[in-house]
Chain A
């Protein structure tokens, strides 16, 4: 299950932010994207997740339903318990068993708590535990370690490692070392240059 990105260009709000991005992520490999804020990491990841079309280039996937996406927001319903939140996603993805995910992210003791009562870090862990129940091979993660303490980062790192060892792939936008063997790609060189085309109007992509 490898992911390949060819000459990808992405736009935010009608303005190109990144162009000519090329990389591939093979099974068992994690790619970490870095770069200053606003360079377009989130836009790139949303494009990978299929939430928006690329304006140039191609994303080559083994099959259309290969990617599990986790953005800045965790999609947690405050009035549902941790178990209910997780089993909803498990049912959406057609997998019944949420126990391994609860264990993997240290949520066993919190399972019956309403998700609204969790701390920010615990919520984040619940949001990431969702990835484990999707059963999808390619994880696309946007700043997954935000608001996690050191121990939780290690826990998350272990979960990613398990995923990679199982033949999975991950594309992560992050600046924090998760204790994983990763390939780091800096996004800064791919910043879109303001090029003016004589043929067409620059206001209209």
Chain B
């Protein structure tokens, strides 16, 4: 086992993905099925929120992954800018639509949950607003990737956008907090036992979160592999035109 940077070689990366992807995808499906069925059918109803609380098994993991996907893109962008590993740039590119979809799922399930709880589909609550802004950042990032023809330039520019965007996303989060104190309940998960959801809800939730993480990894691996192949095709076509 050499250094982790060996996987920055596209060929090595693809070979590894070919081997691991079935396991990751299988595990993702397994934990999602177990977690969701456990959560939906084998947990008691909350004494205040009734059965609506069960949407937590989609809402919380997708919201977590919406943020984690951006974090992963940030790290990948930094790796690209510092070490210039193409796989890293393409992984960031591959993660963006997945993260955007996670954001949409979090927003939609939040709206569906909010309707019975707060009596409204949407409120300009800080958390909701921050997620909407995060979604806009994803859109801009994806659009910039799509708009630039040269792959390396696109990777460079989107990496800088990702870094600058992260700073502004954090700024926006605090600005939004300042602007409106909200309806949203505190974090569902925290290290403080008092604050936490009860254990009966907690365990299936952890399984669901693991499932979403694995799903995200599987999708990003798959999409990165596709991006590498697409990139190779473009390079070969360009070369053919040249000679």
Touch test A–B (CB under 8 Å): yes
Do A14 and B152 touch (CB < 8 A)? Answer: yes
Measured CB to CB, the nearest residue on chain B to A202 is B235
Shortest CB distance B79–A (Å): 14
In the complex, A202→B150 CA distance in Å?
A: 16
Mostly, the B contact residues are helix
Chain A residues closer than 8 Å to B223, beta-carbon distance? none
In the complex, A179→B235 CA distance in Å?
A: 42
Partner of B236, one of A13, A17, A203: A203
User: Residue A201 at the B interface, CB < 8 A?
Assistant: yes
Known: A201-B232, A203-B231. A194 touches B9 (CB 8 A): no
Shortest CB distance A9–B (Å): 14
User: Residue B239 at the A interface, CB < 8 A?
Assistant: yes
* Complex interface residues of chain A between 150 and 205 (CB less than 8 A to chain B): 194, 200-204
User: Residue A92 at the B interface, CB < 8 A?
Assistant: no
Do A15 and B9 touch (CB < 8 A)? Answer: no
Do A15 and B10 touch (CB < 8 A)? Answer: no
Known: A15-B238, A15-B242, A194-B243. A204 touches B86 (CB 8 A): yes
Measured CB to CB, the nearest residue on chain B to A205 is B152
Do A13 and B149 touch (CB < 8 A)? Answer: yes
In the complex, A202→B149 CA distance in Å?
A: 18
Partner of A202, one of B228, B236, B242, B243: B236
Shortest CB distance A155–B (Å): 37
Known: A194-B239, A203-B231. A13 touches B10 (CB 8 A): no
User: Residue B125 at the A interface, CB < 8 A?
Assistant: no
| Binary interface encoding of chain B residues 171-204 relative to chain A, with 1 for a CB under 8 A from any of its CBs, else 0 | 0000000000000000000000000000000000
Shortest CB distance B229–A (Å): 9
Known: A13-B149, A13-B150, A14-B150. A201 touches B238 (CB 8 A): no
* Complex interface residues of chain A between 17 and 59 (CB less than 8 A to chain B): 17
Do A201 and B239 touch (CB < 8 A)? Answer: no
User: Residue B11 at the A interface, CB < 8 A?
Assistant: yes
Chain A residues closer than 8 Å to B234, beta-carbon distance? 203
In the complex, A203→B227 CA distance in Å?
A: 12
Shortest CB distance B220–A (Å): 19
Do B239 and A15 touch (CB < 8 A)? Answer: yes
Partner of B9, one of A13, A17, A201: A201
Shortest CB distance B233–A (Å): 8
In the complex, A202→B234 CA distance in Å?
A: 11
| Binary interface encoding of chain B residues 59-79 relative to chain A, with 1 for a CB under 8 A from any of its CBs, else 0 | 000000000000000000000
Do A14 and B236 touch (CB < 8 A)? Answer: no
In the complex, A203→B86 CA distance in Å?
A: 10
In the complex, A200→B235 CA distance in Å?
A: 14
Shortest CB distance A56–B (Å): 15
Chain B residues closer than 8 Å to A13, beta-carbon distance? 149-150, 238
Residue from B11, B234, B239 with most neighbouring chain A CB atoms (10 Å): B239
In the complex, A141→B228 CA distance in Å?
A: 38
Shortest CB distance A12–B (Å): 9
Chain A residues closer than 8 Å to B149, beta-carbon distance? 13
Chain B residues closer than 8 Å to A200, beta-carbon distance? 9, 11
Chain B residues closer than 8 Å to A15, beta-carbon distance? 235, 238-239, 242
Measured CB to CB, the nearest residue on chain B to A193 is B243
Chain B residues closer than 8 Å to A201, beta-carbon distance? 9-11, 232
In the complex, A13→B86 CA distance in Å?
A: 15
- In the complex, besides A14-B152, A194-B243, A203-B236, 15 extra interface pairs with C-beta distance below 8 angstroms are A13-B238, A14-B235, A14-B238, A15-B235, A15-B238, A15-B242, A17-B242, A200-B11, A201-B232, A202-B236, A203-B10, A203-B231, A203-B232, A203-B235, A204-B231
* 21 A-B contacts (beta carbon < 8 Å): A14-B150, A14-B151, A14-B152, A15-B239, A15-B242, A194-B239, A194-B242, A200-B9, A201-B11, A202-B232, A202-B235, A202-B236, A202-B239, A203-B10, A203-B228, A203-B232, A203-B234, A203-B235, A203-B236, A204-B10, A204-B86
Chain A interface (Cβ < 8 Å from any Cβ of B): 13-15, 17, 194, 200-204
- List the 5 shortest-distance A-B pairs measured between CB atoms, nearest first: A203-B235, A203-B232, A201-B10, A204-B86, A15-B238
